[in-house]
Structure 1
Amino acid sequence: MSAPYILVLYYSRHGAVAEMAKQVARGVEQVSGIEARVRTVPAVSTVCEASEDDIPADGPLYCSMDDLQQCAGLVLGSPTRFGNMAAPLKYFIDGSSSLWLSGAMIDKPAAVFTSTASLHGGQESTLLTMLLPLLHHGMVAVGLPYSEAALMSTRSGGTPYGASHLAGQQGERVLDQDESTLCQALGKRVAGLALQLTVEVNL
């Protein structure tokens, strides 16, 4: 029997969110008994449905509904687009109505992360709006508590609603120590809660 996994699902245009996903996955892997499964979604056109190859040229595989259905928990990441998640990720989530109908995601922990070009570029609104479809699925929203010291010391990304990153106008800023720490803390927290919830369900 394979180990339970946390699905780290993201869309990244310039690489910042992809790097955050790696850090979240590292946090998940700090918890014994559970794994991280990193997946992405293809870009979409404004005039037609996605037409990418089934397997991307590089990086993580594209996510399937089976990946989503079978996960023990979900950490969802996107760059900010006018205070909301990017269209490719929303396109994928909008296609998950069959899982909503079956209740497949109910009581699974879920968390979110984002990256912006500017410091006040909509990080918190993006994180909050990303949680809305997950709440509709009946998932349990997981944030970052202030017991995480980096929330108080950060000079860039990091919120109680989820991990965040300030990439800069040209994407020149790599994740700093506080941002990486909070990404890992988020992954670790979701993984730990997923195991606890699994135990409770099986009692």
Structure 2
Amino acid sequence: MSEQPYILILYYSRTGHTAALASQIARGVARVDGMTARIRAVPPVSPDTDASQPAVPDEGAPWATKDDLAGCAGLAIGSPTRFGNMAAPLKYFLDTTGDLWLSGALTGRPAGAFTSTGSLHGGQESTLLTMMVPLLHHGMVLCGVPYSEKALSETRSGGTPYGPSHWGESNAGGKVSDHEKTICQTFGERLARLAVKLGD
């Protein structure tokens, strides 16, 4: 029996905000028949040269492998903002995928990005746009959130047409707003539907 196609939801989260978005995106993926969500995280990076993380995380999503990435039908990558760009742990993981780029393993598959910030103007949109650059290099088909999703126009916190976002108000464990949840779920469902269509 072959494995059911899946959307890989790949993220780095330091305080739990980005992880919360990943869970909401997975809910949207679950609305689409024939597609499942696979949530995976990347470990922190350190300036030391010794392994500093356990092989299996003590809590949260399992660490991602390149096999998770190579086998996905679609991809959502998520990161907190770091000066208008993705955090180093996610960039580090993506920097190891040159062999997948060379083989064209991800070409033609749908992909998009999501982010969270501690400050209202913390670079959400520039982070999402810069996260799309490696996806384009991999030949992936970009997916955002259309304005037909009313929550995009109504939100007073996170949410952009470039992908879901969350304003964490600088508090660890800040709750995702109802609008942010809706935008995440719409994005997950849209990504999964695109994966089904592009996989035909």
> Which of the five TM-score ranges fits, normalised by the shorter chain?
over 0.9
Quickly say closer, same or farther: Cα 1:73–1:172, change in 2 above 3 A: closer
In structure 1, C-alpha distance between the alignment counterparts of 2:159 and 2:18, rounded to whole Å: 14
2:178 aligns to what?
177
Pairs aligned (count): 199
1:96 aligns to what?
97
In structure 2, C-alpha distance between the alignment counterparts of 1:155 and 1:101, rounded to whole Å: 42
Quickly say closer, same or farther: Cα 1:95–1:33, change in 2 above 3 A: same
Q: How does 1:12-161 map to 2 (within 5 A)?
A: 12-48=13-49, 51-161=52-162
1:41-61 Cα distance to aligned partner (Å, 9 max, x none) = 110013436542211111111
Question: Which 4+ stretches in 1 moved above 2 angstroms?
Answer: 46-51, 170-173
In structure 2, C-alpha distance between the alignment counterparts of 1:13 and 1:85, rounded to whole Å: 12
Q: C-alpha root-mean-square deviation of aligned residues, in Å?
A: 1.0
What's the TM-score, normalizing by structure 2? Answer: 0.97
SS in 2 for 1:75: strand
Contact map agreement 1:44 1:50 (CA 8 A) in 2: no
Contact map agreement 2:117 2:166 (CA 8 A) in 1: yes
Amino-acid identity (%): 58
What's the TM-score, normalizing by structure 1? Answer: 0.96
SS in 1 for 2:128: helix
Per-residue deviation, 1:149? 0.3
Asked if 1:3 corresponds to 2:4, the answer is yes
Quickly say closer, same or farther: Cα 1:141–1:60, change in 2 above 3 A: same
Contact map agreement 1:75 1:111 (CA 8 A) in 2: yes
SS in 2 for 1:193: helix
Contact map agreement 2:117 2:123 (CA 8 A) in 1: yes
In structure 1, runs of 5+ residues without a counterpart are: none
In structure 1, C-alpha distance between the alignment counterparts of 2:128 and 2:47, rounded to whole Å: 23
Contact map agreement 2:85 2:130 (CA 8 A) in 1: yes
